[in-house]
Chains A and B, each alone.
Chain A
Amino acid sequence: MEAEAAKLIGAGLAAIGAGLAAGGVGNVFGSFLQGALRNPAAADSQQGRLFIGFAAAELLGLLAFVVAMILIFVA
């Protein structure tokens, strides 16, 4: 296989990671909403934790983007 074609295929495969991270971020907010609807009084105090979870899940999706960008522009 040509090296250029392999790079593009690799970048496309890295996009799967972005999709999985979307699932992760959705899970974070979905679970938060589930808990918040059961106990709305405690929801406000947990918003910091919500965003920590969001940041952790999002970072991995962004790393997938970085991998794709490195494959296309750097490697």
Chain B
Amino acid sequence: MAGESGKIDPMHQFQIEPLAKLDLFGYDISFTNSSLFMLVVLGAIWVFMAGGMKRELVPGRWQMAVEGVTGFINNMMSSSIGPEGKKYVPLVFSLFMFILFANFMGMMPIGIVPGAHAFTVTSHLTVTAVLAVLSFGTVLVVGLWKHGLHFFSLFVPHGTPWWLLWLIPLIELFSFLIRPFSLALRLFVAMTAGHVLMKVLAGFVINGLNAEALWVAPLVALPSFILMIGITLLELLVCAIQAYVFALLTSLYINDAVNLH
């Protein structure tokens, strides 16, 4: 069968390939395609922000776009934390922009340049785990700094009956400790699953067009291609929603640390 020779591996896109070998005290710190795309994301954010921060009195289109994003995060922080939320806008804004741009950068059709492959930085658990630890660490540091040991009253909600005092703190502690894992896992899996799905559909299209039997191309490849367009649009939506959810949950967790229920 023709499909057997040109087998398309949907997991190959997540492979990390070193572009320049580097070695530090026996640790492999090679410059990989992941690092390259992180730099590309950083550059894209820098260009986007620099273009809109000219502080014109009458904002142009670009400045309106930047102000829209900053205003969006600003609103979210002040509505979920209150007036004290302003202090944490830079952190949440950076997290949001990095995740959003990294997600979108992985969806760019870079593959039309021969030899180049798009790489989604956020489709690796190591990257999303570091982002989640950033968010969770801020909650811990802010909570312990502001309230001292009183921070642990977070685990005993108001109005807990005395005969449940042995169980509720346990559940609250568990749900608190699972936050970084759920944050990291959600982003990582959403990106991975979407990209695997798209590559599987792309494999249907390519193998269908290459099939020896002529009826396969219109019956399999064409519907798959149409479905793929829809899935791509859905995936763009998911990219934005995941970045939003990450920022929203971070703001809620910071709210817990600042206001203690």
Contacts and interface: CB of A to CB of B under 8 A. Distances in A.
Chain B interface SS verdict (over half):
helix
Interface string B172-214: 0000000000100110011011000000000000000000000
A59 B186 contact: yes
Interface residues of A, number: 14
Q: Which among B11, B76, B80, B193 has the highest number of chain A CB atoms within 10 Å?
A: B193
Given A58-B190, A62-B190, A51 B248 contact: yes
Contacts of A73: 11
B197 to A, nearest CB: 10
A16 to B, nearest CB: 16
A43 interface: no
A52 B252 contact: yes
A65 B244 contact: no
Contacts of B49: none
A54 B186 CA distance: 12
Nearest to A56: B182
A59 B54 CA distance: 40
A35 B134 CA distance: 36
Q: Is the interface of A mostly helix, strand, loop or mixed?
A: helix
B79 interface: yes
A59 B182 contact: yes
A62 B241 CA distance: 15
Contacts of B186: 55, 58-59, 62
Q: Which 6 A-B pairs have the closest CB atoms?
A: A62-B189, A55-B245, A65-B193, A59-B186, A66-B189, A59-B182
Interface of B: 11, 76, 79-80, 182, 185-186, 189-190, 192-193, 241, 244-245, 248-249, 252
Given A58-B186, A59-B182, A62-B190, 6 more contacts: A54-B245, A55-B245, A59-B185, A59-B186, A62-B185, A66-B185
15 contacts: A48-B79, A48-B80, A48-B248, A51-B245, A52-B248, A54-B241, A55-B245, A55-B248, A58-B190, A59-B185, A62-B185, A62-B189, A63-B189, A66-B185, A66-B189
